[in-house]
Amino acid sequence: MRFGRVSKAVGAAAVTMLVLSGCTAAPGPVTTSASTSGAVSGGTAVVAETNAFNSFNPNTGTGSADINSKIAYATHTGFNYIDDKLNIVKNEKFGKYEKISDNPLTIRYTINDGVKWSDGAPVDANDLMLAWAAQSGYYNDATMDKEGNVLAGNHYFEFGGDTAGLAMTELPEIGDNGRSLTLKYTKPFADWEVVFGSPVDVPAHAVAQKAGLKDAAALSSLLKTVPKGNPDEPVTPNADLRKVAEYWNTGFDTKTMPTDTSVFLSNGPYIVTGIVPDQSLTLSRNTDYKWGPAASLDSIMVRFIADASAQVAALKNQEADIIAPQPAADSAVQLKAMAGQGVSFNQFDQLSYDHLDLNFTGVFADQNVREAFLKTVPRQDLVNKIIQKLDAGAKPLESQVFLPAQPKYADSIKNNGSAAFVDVDIEGAKRLLNGATPTVRIMYSKANSNRADAFTLIKDSAAKAGFNVVDGGLGADWNTHLGDGSYDAAIFGWNSPGVGVSQIPQLFRSGSVSNYNKFSNADADKLMDQLIVTDDMGKQADLLIQLDKIIWSSDYGLPLFQPPGVVAYSSAVTGIKPMAGQTGVWWNYWQWARK
pLDDT > 70 in the chain, percent: 93
Domain co-membership, 125 together with 195: yes
Domain co-membership, 121 together with 211: yes
Strand 322-323 and strand 564-570: pairing? Answer: antiparallel
Query: Is the model's pTM score more than 0.95?
Result: no
Domain co-membership, 156 together with 273: no
**382 neighbors 560 (Cβ within 8 angstroms):** yes
* Backbone CA torsion sign across 404, 406, 412, 416: negative
pLDDT range class, residue 39, cuts 50, 70, 90: low
The residues near 344 (Cβ < 8 Å, ≥ 6 apart) are: 568, 569, 571, 576
Do the domain assignments include residue 503? Answer: no
Q: Nearest Cα to 466, choosing from 431, 436, 424?
A: 436
pLDDT for the residue 147 = 65
C-alpha–C-alpha distance, residues 463 and 483, integer Å: 25
Do the domain assignments include residue 498? Answer: no
Q: Residue 212 CB: number of other CB atoms within 10 A? A: 12
pLDDT range class, residue 6, cuts 50, 70, 90: very low
Q: Where are the alpha helices (DSSP H) in 12-152?
A: 66-75, 125-136
C-alpha–C-alpha distance, residues 532 and 167, integer Å: 11
What mean pLDDT, rounded, does the chain reach?
A: 89
pLDDT for the residue 307 = 87
Do the domain assignments include residue 157? Answer: yes
Domain co-membership, 35 together with 10: yes
Assign residue 590 the CATH number of its domain. 3.40.190.10
**17 neighbors 496 (Cβ within 8 angstroms):** yes
Number of domains in the chain: 3
> Which domain does 128 fall in, by range?
77-200+203-250
Domain co-membership, 321 together with 442: no
In residues, how long is the chain? 595
Do the domain assignments include residue 514? Answer: no
C-alpha–C-alpha distance, residues 113 and 140, integer Å: 33
Domain co-membership, 118 together with 156: yes
pLDDT range class, residue 162, cuts 50, 70, 90: confident
C-alpha–C-alpha distance, residues 436 and 363, integer Å: 11
Q: What angle do CA 78, 82, 86 make, to 5 degrees?
A: 165
If you average pLDDT over residues 229-258, what whole number do you get?
96
Domain co-membership, 139 together with 196: yes
Domain co-membership, 83 together with 70: no
Q: What angle do CA 9, 334, 585 make, to 5 degrees?
A: 40
Q: Residue 500 CB: number of other CB atoms within 10 A? A: 26
**265 neighbors 273 (Cβ within 8 angstroms):** no
**Residue predicted with more confidence, 269 or 39:** 269
Domain co-membership, 377 together with 477: yes
The residues near 306 (Cβ < 8 Å, ≥ 6 apart) are: 50, 51, 445, 447, 448, 475, 476
Domain co-membership, 48 together with 134: no
Predicted confidence (pLDDT) per residue in 444-466, tens digit: 999 888 899 999 999 999 999 99
Domain co-membership, 71 together with 83: no
pLDDT for the residue 63 = 87
Predicted confidence (pLDDT) per residue in 525-544, tens digit: 999 999 999 989 899 999 99
* Backbone CA torsion sign across 544, 547, 549, 554: negative
If you average pLDDT over residues 28-32, what whole number do you get?
32
pLDDT for the residue 146 = 66
C-alpha–C-alpha distance, residues 65 and 147, integer Å: 22
Do the domain assignments include residue 173? Answer: yes
Domain boundary among 188, 222, 250: 250
**1 neighbors 197 (Cβ within 8 angstroms):** yes
If you average pLDDT over residues 212-233, what whole number do you get?
96
If you average pLDDT over residues 427-433, what whole number do you get?
98
Lowest-confidence pick of 165-179, 187-201, 266-280: 187-201
Do the domain assignments include residue 163? Answer: yes
Domain boundary among 250, 285, 310: 250
Do the domain assignments include residue 184? Answer: yes
Domain co-membership, 94 together with 231: yes
pLDDT for the residue 427 = 98
Taking 90 as the threshold, does the pLDDT of residue 36 lie above it? no
Predicted confidence (pLDDT) per residue in 539-581, tens digit: 999 999 999 999 999 999 999 998 888 899 999 999 999 998 8
Lowest-confidence pick of 147-161, 167-181, 299-313, 523-537: 147-161
3-state secondary structure of 469: strand
DSSP secondary structure letter of residue 24: -
